[in-house]
Amino acid sequence: MGVMIEGVYEAEDPGPGTTKNGAYERAKSTLRNWITTGGPITPDAGRYHLFVAWNCPWAHRTLLVRAVLGLQDAISISIAKPRRTDQGWVFDAEGEYADPELKAQAVHQVYARQCPAYTGRITVPVLWDKQAQQIVSNESADIVRMLSLAFDPDRRLCPSQHEADIDRWNTLIHAKVNNGVYRAGFARTQEAYDAAVTDLFNTLDDLEQHLSAYPTLVADQLTEADLRLFPTLARFDVAYHYAFKCNLAKLSDYPALWDYARALYALPGVAETVKPDIYKAGYFSPSELRNPLGIVPAGPRIDWSQPAKRTINKPI
Ligand SMILES: N[C@@H](CCC(=O)N[C@@H](CS)C(=O)NCC(=O)O)C(=O)O
């Protein structure tokens, strides 16, 4: 794993950003254009391509929106191999992990196509514009919102009247849950770890309370906020609980959250995006900090197909 400096991929990884007190700080995404009706980047079927990895939760949220809105034919994908190498995210020459669009060997080549002197981290997801031959965005939050607005005129995943509520959940869940597990897993001091775990489990407790009373996060219907929470829940017991030391409780210890997660899993198109064995291979890949020998644990056994008590309707 590494970083790109002026268009050259350096295998030497400076490591995830940390502040002085050992707390993890996520790098900001830098390529942030928008698809809009009437703008230069229009929502045309067949024009866009997503570069993703099954194990990446930020990529997962974009795949969920694509699946729930039925955009699989409109937006094509390339899936990078689950374990990063000294070239970062890489592709095979053929098969499931090949890149049919640009025939790239690594995701850093996609960034170099966009900007030959690119400097920064090479992350997935990346939304690529096949027509303009450039990156639209490497920020998953923007990709989720722009897909759900530009490709669905009825804004069913982000209704205008609920947008503020969706944003409120998104902000909280990003800080304390989605990125919270990384703050715990990448902490370099006890204090930073303790703060992250406290935030995470306090928020899971609040979510448990909310989801005991309501079927979903906002307005009793499926919205973008649910699709942004789900990737962290899908990885929780199999990866974060153990690999990132988020072990005060398992997802399956929260009756309402676990029921909610399974109801989301049962939505058409969602199960195809959930890959527990790949999460394990990715999160337990060799890491000097967390898992020096790269040994992947056998468990836990999880039954995602157990029917949920609640019903969540696919809006489309
Ligand atoms: N802000 C980005 C973050 C994406 C991100 O951190 N992706 C991880 C994989 S889960 C990655 O590609 N990391 C590679 C690196 O940092 O070198 C987003 O949400 O789209």
pLDDT score, position 100: 98
SS (H, E, C) 10-40: ECCCCCCCECCCCCECCCCCCCECCCCCCCC
Q: Which of 104, 130, 150 is the last residue of a domain?
A: 150
Q: Is residue 80 part of a domain?
A: yes
Asked whether the beta carbons of 218 and 156 are under 8 A apart, the reply is: no
The residue whose CA is least distant from atom 9 of ligand 1 is: 56
Q: Is 123 a pocket residue for ligand 1 (Cβ < 6 Å)?
A: yes
Tokens 């309707």 belong to: 313
Closest Cα partner for 77 from 56, 203, 218? 56
Domains: count for the chain: 2
Q: Containing H/E element for 136?
A: strand 134-137
Structure tokens that stand for 1 in this block: 């794993």
Q: Is residue 75 part of a domain?
A: yes
Distance 42 CA to ligand 1 centre (A): 25
**Residues known to be catalytic:** 56, 182
Residue-by-residue DSSP string for 34-94: ---TTSSS---TTSEEEEEETT-HHHHHHHHHHHHTT-TTTEEEEEE-SS-BTTBSB-BSS
Same domain for 119 and 257, yes or no, is no
Same domain for 128 and 267, yes or no, is no
The residue whose CA is least distant from atom 19 of ligand 1 is: 140
pLDDT score, position 2: 79
Give residue 224's identity as a one-letter amino acid code.
E
**Tens-digit pLDDT string for the chain (316 aa):** 678 888 888 877 666 666 667 888 878 878 888 888 888 888 888 999 999 999 999 999 999 999 999 999 999 999 999 989 999 999 999 999 999 999 999 999 999 998 888 999 999 999 999 999 999 999 999 999 999 999 999 999 999 999 999 999 999 999 999 999 999 999 999 999 999 999 999 999 999 999 999 999 999 999 999 999 999 999 999 999 999 999 999 999 999 999 999 999 999 999 999 999 999 999 998 888 789 999 999 999 999 999 999 999 887 6
With the most atoms of ligand 1 within 8 angstroms of its CB, the residue from 58, 228, 232, 240 to mutate is 58
Same domain for 187 and 89, yes or no, is no
Task: Residue 174: give the domain boundaries.
Answer: 160-277
pLDDT score, position 114: 83
Spatial neighbors of 43 by CB under 8 A, at least 6 apart, are 35, 36, 37, 150, 151
CATH code of the domain in which 105 resides: 3.40.30.10
Same domain for 133 and 20, yes or no, is yes
Q: Containing H/E element for 129?
A: strand 126-129
pLDDT score, position 26: 78
pLDDT score, position 92: 98
Closest Cα partner for 264 from 312, 213, 305? 312
Looking at ligand 1, which atom is closest to the CA of residue 121? 17
Residue ranges in the chain assigned as alpha helix (H): 57-68, 107-114, 140-150, 163-173, 180-185, 190-213, 224-235, 241-243, 255-265, 276-283
Looking at ligand 1, which atom is closest to the CA of residue 57? 10
